[in-house]
Structure 1
Amino acid sequence: MADHQRIHPVQDPEVVEPVPPHKPTAPLVERGSSRSENGDPERQYPPPLRRGIPYEPLKPPRRRSCWKKCLCWTLALVIVQLIILGILAAIVYFVFQPKIPKYSVDAMRITQFNLGNDNSLSATFNVNITARNPNKKIGIYYEGGSRLSVWYTGTKLCEGSLPKFYQGHRNTTLLSLTLAGQTQDAAGLLQSLRAEQQTGSIPLNLRARVPVRLKLGKLKLMKWKFLVRCRLVVDSLAADNVIRIRDSSCKFRFRL
């Protein structure tokens, strides 16, 4: 009987047999050290610290409150109005070329100036005032409610008012006014006046507050107030006597 041939399998070179895992012959833990119950002792150490950018929560954008918005709008409207008024004022100035009215006190006469039994001083002045309008294209309406007064060292001696009238372009108007008044407890005031009368130089102040309306061409503007102050120096304050005005100067300004 023929010998049976043994067949040995030939391993393909391209097929790699898996390598059995290598079993450690020595323990991974060194002698004298204890094994942690939680696993590998190398994993017990915390990871190294890394420096990072600190976290800051984002702040919500600030919203403008209602009053700030109202304030901004109000300021904007005021600025616009000022610009418009400036443009109108420039137009009026270049078209109408306004000039300040001029006033002067020309004469003064006292018809009453005596001390009563109750130490009250009664005074009546007749004053002549010249009002000049030098404007070519602007007229002046003098309205009612004006007040004129004569003062001596802070004490009002008499008062009156202007009549209502219209003053045209480049017009000069002469006004004759009567101012009357009464001052209480004026014994000391009269002594001071007599002392200054001997020097021949008595200071007086004439104040006027006159409501007016300006007329630009055919347009009548809103009401304004003319404020006039005149400083006078007279020689005496005797009744029924012509008073000589030694010095006179008037200042003018206006307001709404």
Structure 2
Amino acid sequence: MNSAKLPLFNKVDDVKIKCSCTSIFPYTILLITSLAILLWVILLPKSPIITVKEALVDRYTLTGHNHLNAAFNFVLRVHNPNTKLSLYYDHLEFKAYHGGQVVAYDGVEPFQQPNESLSLLNFRGVAIDMPLFESPGEVDLILEMKGRLWFKVGTLTLYRYKFKIMCFPVVVHLDRIGGLETSSCYIMLE
């Protein structure tokens, strides 16, 4: 009888298994990172473009000590420049400031904006006993909009941001002839 002892395990095969497992992990991470960068480059998300289209003051009264009671109506034009991404806005709140104080506040229902589309947002607020610091025929305001912005492809949510939009100076003339002086809006994503 040949009494050759059989080995309990094969060291060469065990080393090959360890080596293949440790080399697969870095390649998997590299592949996932490459796909994420490729997806980002293909979709190339762009921030929305916001402008103040209309600003009106209704039902205003000026008191003797240069204070204003008024109802403000603003229309913001929101343009989605993305060709492949839709935008979803949530938890929107508008504020109008004059002299560092909030003079009007409003909230807007969440909405989705398709790619390459234009939306108009209405913001209404009432100011009571607001001191005027400039000439009685106009009001200088700063508009602020805060909320959450989601970039979406179909039902897949790709990026979520908190955002803050500031539009200033928004000069509103109390007479309808004066209208609105153009103002710039800046968006900050967090």
TM-score using structure 1 length = 0.53
Shift of 1:90: 2.9
Q: Percent identity?
A: 25
**Larger CA deviation: 91-100 vs 132-141:** 91-100
Q: Does 1:215 align with 2:162?
A: no
Corresponding residue for residue 140 of structure 2: 203
Shift of 1:115: 6.1
Q: Distance in 2 between matches of 1:167 and 1:111?
A: 29
Corresponding residue for residue 247 of structure 1: 182
More strand by share: 2
Extract unaligned runs of 5+ from structure 1: 1-82
Instruction: Specify the SS of the correspondent of 2:40.
Output: helix
How do 1:1-256 residues align onto structure 2 when only pairs under 5 Å count? 90-114=37-61, 122-143=69-90, 145-182=91-128, 186=130, 189-190=131-132, 192-193=133-134, 196-197=135-136, 202-221=139-158, 223-234=160-171, 236-237=173-174, 241=176, 244-255=179-190
Question: Cα 1:98–1:121, aligned 2, differ >3 Å: closer, same or farther?
Answer: same
Letter in 2 for 1:127: F
Shift of 1:179: 2.1
Q: Distance in 1 between matches of 2:39 and 2:125?
A: 37
Q: Distance in 2 between matches of 1:107 and 1:95?
A: 35
Shift of 1:237: 3.4
* Contact 1:229–1:252 under 8 Å retained in 2: yes
Instruction: Specify the SS of the correspondent of 1:91.
Output: helix
- When the two chains are superposed, the root-mean-square deviation of aligned CA atoms in Å is 3.2
Letter in 2 for 1:208: M
Q: Distance in 1 between matches of 2:98 and 2:56?
A: 16
Q: Which has the higher contact order (CA 8 A, sep 6+)?
A: 2
Extract unaligned runs of 5+ from structure 2: 1-29
Greater Rg over alpha carbons, structure: 1
Instruction: Specify the SS of the correspondent of 1:94.
Output: helix
Letter in 1 for 2:125: L
TM-score using structure 2 length = 0.69
Letter in 1 for 2:148: P
Number of aligned residues: 160
Letter in 1 for 2:145: A
Shift of 1:204: 1.6
